[in-house]
């Protein structure tokens, strides 16, 4: 097990830190503890929120003290070990056409690739969903191939990025679920609704999911967008995979 620290986060949450870097193995420990806490149904625990390398545990201080929760977390971590975990695998359409991928050419040039080679690398990657954050339904997906994992966020963010835009920065990929200001490099766009409010609030991806992308033409993208707008775009995981989780 990696070195773990349990730290206060205000007066209604604790942070359980696993290491100090982004790593899939650390993510499995984060997700394993989240599952164990959820299954234990600890009285006073309100919510667990996995992040890139830590677990945020919200609690009700009127029902549970921080010291008691810390003791319970340490207790639940005893015996936490590798075991099979079923994960969902999504294969999602993305259009990498220059018309809706404003940074594709520049990032390819900076990486020493052609745009087609960049797309090939991106669609060949099996991404891991580390966490949701920043916006409802926005998943942080890792890990980019090394040749693409060296571009920090833009110095000046765009004031408006359309929903569905696929961005890369550092080692991660994301798809913005709604229109938003953002500073990641945009190399494509997906017609998939990642966050919906009706008939109920739902998010497509969850931490621990696996994601691959399939390129579609601009015409196919527009057709899929029409289906999404009409509520007829059917999306299902292509398979359930059994992997190793801590």
Cα separation of 241 and 109, whole Å? 36
Going along the chain from its start, the domains and CATH numbers come out as 4-81 (3.30.1360.40), 86-245 (2.40.100.10)
Say yes or no to pLDDT of 201 above 90.
no
Collapsed DSSP state (helix, strand, coil) of residue 169: strand
Query: What does the pLDDT look like over 148-182, one tens digit per residue?
Result: 999 999 999 999 999 999 999 999 999 999 999 99
Lowest mean pLDDT: which of 21-35, 70-84, 130-144, 210-224? 70-84
Q: Which residues of 179-188 are buried (b: 16+ CB within 10 A; e: fewer)?
A: ebebebbbbb
The first and second tokens of residue 93, run together, are 């359409």
Cα separation of 159 and 34, whole Å? 35
Q: Give the residue with greater pLDDT, 108 vs 241.
A: 108
Residue 102's nearest CA partner among 158, 177, 176, 174 is 158
- Please name the residues in contact with 16: beta carbons below 8 A apart, sequence gap of 6 or more: 4, 5, 6, 30, 33, 54, 55, 57, 73
Q: Where are the alpha helices (DSSP H) in the chain?
A: 24-40, 66-77, 104-111, 115-123, 218-230
Quick check: 246 and 80 in contact, CB under 8 A? yes
Q: In the prediction, which pLDDT does 200 show?
A: 76
pTM over 0.75: yes
Which residue, chain included where needed, has tokens 């060949």? Answer: 124
Residue 95's nearest CA partner among 24, 189, 201 is 189
């Amino acid at each position: 097990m990696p070195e773990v620290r349990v730290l206060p986060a205000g007066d209604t949450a604790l942070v359980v830190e696993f290491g100090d870097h982004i790593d899939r193995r650390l993510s499995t420990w984060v997700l394993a503890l989240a599952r164990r806490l959820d299954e234990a149904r600890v009285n006073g625990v309100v919510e667990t929120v996995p992040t890139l390398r830590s677990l945020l545990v919200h609690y009700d201080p009127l029902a549970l003290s921080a010291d008691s929760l810390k003791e319970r977390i340490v207790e639940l971590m005893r015996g936490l070990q590798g075991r099979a975990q079923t994960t969902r695998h999504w294969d999602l359409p993305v259009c990498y056409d220059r018309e809706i991928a404003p940074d594709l050419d520049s990032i390819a040039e900076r990486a020493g690739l052609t745009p087609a080679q960049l797309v090939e690398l991106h669609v060949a990657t099996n991404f891991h969903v580390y966490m949701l954050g920043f916006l409802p339904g926005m998943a942080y997906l890792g890990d980019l191939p090394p040749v693409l994992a060296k571009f920090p966020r833009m110095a000046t963010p765009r004031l408006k990025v359309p929903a569905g835009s696929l961005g890369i920065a550092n080692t991660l990929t994301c798809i913005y679920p709604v229109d938003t200001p953002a500073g990641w490099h945009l190399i494509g766009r997906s017609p998939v609704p990642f966050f919906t409010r009706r008939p109920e609030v739902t998010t497509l991806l969850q931490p621990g999911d696996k994601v691959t992308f399939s390129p579609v033409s601009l015409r196919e993208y527009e057709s899929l967008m029409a289906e999404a707008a009409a509520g007829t775009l059917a999306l299902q995981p292509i398979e359930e995979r059994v992997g190793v989780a801590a």
